[in-house]
Amino acid sequence: MDTVTIKAKGISVTLDLAVGHIADMTVEADGRRLQPLHRAPWVGAPRESLPQDLPEGTVRLSGDFLCAPFSRADVEEAPLHGWPANSAWDLVEDSAISDGWRASFRLRRKVMGASVDKVLTLRDNHPFLYQEHVFFGGAGAISVAHHPMTVMRGGG
């Protein structure tokens, strides 16, 4: 799997570049290690063991991802939850900031003619991922949402 991991004091986040999903988020505090995001149990299984018509975003279903559109595409041809959740992202910037780390990524495909950037920021000793998505150019309206998936032992 082609991934990029960013870290700040007490937190790390790994992005799956094939589909733009957060493959892992780990928070360390008070001697505890928390991994609150869910990853589908079939991720990493041989591709031939899965139905051939599954969108790539379902094959690699992890953590949190951007949907554009949220659900089925009815405006332009795209897989379930759109290209941001089903196609490759490129690393654009990866650098330290004064109190943490920031990385920027760009979707290789366009969404209704728009380029899409993903900016992930971690701050030292903050147990949060600060996430931003920016659409540049394009035309039209589309539903857009984050799709977080959490896992809690004992049902939360």
Using one digit for the tens of pLDDT, what is the confidence trace for 14-66? 999 999 999 999 999 999 999 999 999 999 899 899 998 888 888 888 999 99
Structural domain count of the chain:
1
Sequence-separated (6 or more) residues with CB below 8 Å from residue 143: 67, 68, 69, 70, 71
Dihedral angle at the C-alpha atoms of 83, 87, 92, 98, nearest 10 degrees? 80
The CATH number of residue 144's host domain is 2.70.98.10
pLDDT score at 58? 86
pLDDT score at 79? 82
Task: List the strands of the sheet with 114-123, edge to edge.
Answer: 89-97, 100-107, 114-123, 129-137
Percent of the chain with pLDDT over 90: 69
Nearest-angstrom CA–CA distance, 65 and 88 = 12
pLDDT score at 70? 72
pLDDT score at 156? 63
Joined tokens for residue 110: 């366009």
Range with the lowest mean pLDDT among 7-16, 54-63, 120-129? Answer: 54-63
User: Structural domain of residue 97, as residue ranges?
Assistant: 3-155
